[in-house]
Amino acid sequence: MRLNKYLARSGVASRREADKLIQTTSVTVNGVVEVNPAYCVKSTDEVRYDNKRIRPESNTRIILLNKPSGYITTVKDPLKRKTVMDLIDNNKRLFPVGRLDKDTTGLLLLTNDGELANRLMHPKNRIQRIYKVEIDKKFRAWEIKRMSIKVYIGQKEWGKAEVVKQKQVKGRVTVLLRLYHGQKREVRRLMYRMKRKLFSLERIQFGPIALGNISRGRWRDLNAGEMKILNSLGL
């Protein structure tokens, strides 16, 4: 098994993130630093990450967290800021599937299955994410069309979103946006380029998994049916 796949199956990170971790000399094989993601791990090898021995997970776990504002989406933070890991019972090695920025709330999946995380995040699989945004005014028809094609959001990147629906209540408009892959802070950058004041941003759905009525800051394990559906995505 390739070393990056071994790390992914051990619940360290997705395959893509595992490549980066290996390059930072955080992984040793039989006491020697290994920087080649393609290294073929043998059954007799002792693989360590951050000096802790790792082995492929036998049982997949996926949890749904309703992320509050003020927490960053990472496993460890060298600056000792609050992370989403502070909110969960992390008796197994878990890591976030993708990211929500510090001020964004809502649905965040965490898992110990790096292969699954890689499938869920890969742009080619076009797995939808639905966000609920509160802004100051409705989008006009031409703006909706423009966002559905592409909008330049800076740093040589383009953003894209579909307006599912929008509703105005007094001075604010609630809009549901569908995205299929995420540039860093893409929704916020889109709203800025579309000249909208953004009051709040919440992710309410990832693929077929909806946030539901779970309280902010709380989490739950996905049930067997939800896990089966997620495991079938991107195959």
Catalytic residues: 101
Among 37, 33, 19, 30, smallest CA distance to 53 is for: 30
CA 10 and chain centroid, separation = 18
Joined tokens for residue 18: 């595992």
Asked if 128 and 180 count as a contact pair (C-beta separation under 8 A), the reply is: yes
The answer to whether 83 and 65 have CB atoms below 8 angstroms apart is no
Per DSSP, the residues of 100-113 read: --TT-EEEEEEES-
Tokens of 226: 């939800």
Residue in this structure with the two tokens 């909208």, named with its chain if needed? 196
Which residues, 6+ apart, have CB-to-CB distance to 215 below 8 Å?
Answer: 66
The two counts, helices (H) then strands (E), for the chain are 6, 15
**Rounded Cα distance, 47 and 1, in Å:** 12
Tokens 């408009």 map to which residue? 173
Extract the tokens encoding 50: 């951050």
Please provide the size of the chain in residues. 235
